[in-house]
Amino acid sequence: MNLLIKSATVVDPNSPFNKQVTDILIENGVITQIGKDITAEVEIFDATGKYLLPGFFDLNCNIGELGYETKEDLQSGTAAAAAGGFTGIALMPNTQKPVHSKAEVEYLVNKSKGNLVDVVPLGAISYKREGKDMAEMYDMLQSGARAFTDGNNPVQDAGLMERALLYAHGFNALIFSYPEDTAIAGKAKVNEGEVSTLLGMKGIPSLAEELMVARDLYLSEYTGSPIHFSTISTWRSVDLIRQARQRGLQVTCDVAAHHLVLTDEALTGFDSQYKVKPPLRIQKDVDALIAGLKDGTIDTIVSQHTPHEVEYKNVEFEVAEFGIVGLQTAFILALKAGLPLDLIVEKLSVNPRKILNAPTANIAVDTSANFTLVDTEKEWTYTRENNFSKSYNSPFIGQTLKGQVLLTCNNNQLFNLIK
């Protein structure tokens, strides 16, 4: 892949060209020149007023393979990722069968070879994600799993979580915790508060998340093991993690992009497209999440891409599945939340790779071209036609959004969204 990008503004804290307007020449997938007034006999892309960022990496992505290919498969999921500026995705083990042994990890690694988007499987902590017996974590690590999580099944057994932290720490692996105490959350569908009372629905209290955050912080401290919290959503969770970091604990965390711009007030019309888990919270929580991103308490922003067929969402709110497709909107929602571009790069590009010890994506000479080119001012309408996922369970479809991904490049391949 050969391309000359003219007059792009580089935003990459690890690049010597950070914040500079410059030309970038890519030859055979490698950045060979960066500077002013470069000429070459290759395709030219005028990027005046546009921003060149390191490719994004998503730490929380659900793709149907294995078993749920009608929701999403690797081909459609990686296309949606590239359309959202992602050049790497970490796959949750929420599949059927779950990714709980080296066989599933090796299938995903081999099936995704040669793709523009780097696919990193996350292995399950427990066999079948049932929260009872520990899965074959070391074997999965050897086969390509980068970290371990039971996905959207929170580990309720504190003893199992303690043993998993100790075991994974022995071979420098990372445990992801999805913090929810199911005994507190019960079968409720929305955040507990004024809106749940107005809707006449039982709510999930913030306590259900915060109890589990507190428990796993204690376990991390006791075992001396690092831990990562997936999709925190309340102000107290942010505060607990901030205090833990001040005490020197090895803790990282992420937040789903939709939790930065939506509150539970979006649910007053009983629109199941807004049904997510953790549930949409209140404005106080949204403000705390944004503040946590700005002060470094929250390390990354994730898409929490969760595709579903129409029959699982176009039903009564109570029985609809949780989740939205988020790969194509994560960057745009981060912009909508008012985050500056350099902070978005830190949370979508730099920190996710640090957490997984994945190779960095730098915009520098003699490095593999791994970037996304974006227009932060462009307005476009998100439709079913320009949605690359197999599923279209997103509340943002039909809306006009500000900010657009134009090009995504990785592994000597180019994804051009404006042809």
Q: Are strands 43-46 and 3-10 parallel, antiparallel or unpaired?
A: parallel
pLDDT of residue 419: 64
Residues of the chain with pLDDT > 70, as a percent, come to: 100
- pLDDT tens across 232-276, in order? 999 999 999 999 999 999 999 999 999 999 999 999 999 999 999
CA distance 71 to 392: 10
Q: What are φ and ψ of residue 91, in 5° steps?
A: -90, 125
Q: What is the mean pLDDT of residues 306-331?
A: 96
On the 0-12 / 13-18 / 19+ scale of CB atoms within 10 A, 51 is: buried
CATH of region 3-52+364-416, choose from 2.30.40.10, 3.40.440.10, 3.40.50.2300, 3.40.605.10: 2.30.40.10
Contacts of 41 (CB under 8 A, 6+ apart): none
Residue 406 pLDDT greater than 90, yes or no: yes
Residue closest to 236 by CA, chosen among 217, 256, 223: 217
CA distance 38 to 20: 15
**b (16+ CB within 10 A) / e for 258-286:** bbbbbbbebbeeeebbbbbbbbbbbeebb
CA distance 249 to 225: 9
Residue 411 pLDDT greater than 90, yes or no: yes
CA dist list (Å): 58 to 92, 129, 395 = 11, 21, 20
For residue 66, cis peptide bond before it (omega within 30 degrees of 0): yes
Residue 160: which pLDDT band, with cuts at 50, 70 and 90? very high
CA distance 148 to 164: 9
CA distance 196 to 317: 13
Looking at the DSSP bridge assignments, the partners of residue 414 are: 409
CA distance 229 to 419: 39
**Same fold across 3-52+364-416 and 55-356:** no
Residue 418: which pLDDT band, with cuts at 50, 70 and 90? confident
Contacts of 130 (CB under 8 A, 6+ apart): 153
Contact by Cβ (8 Å): 303, 330: yes
**Token pair belonging to 1:** 């892949």
Q: Is 355 helix (H, G, I), strand (E, B) or coil?
A: helix
- pLDDT tens across 202-212, in order? 999 999 999 99
What is the number of other CB atoms lying within 10 angstroms of the CB of residue 200?
6
The domain spans of the chain are: 3-52+364-416, 55-356
User: Is 55-356 a CATH 3.20.20.140 domain?
Assistant: yes
Contact by Cβ (8 Å): 265, 198: no
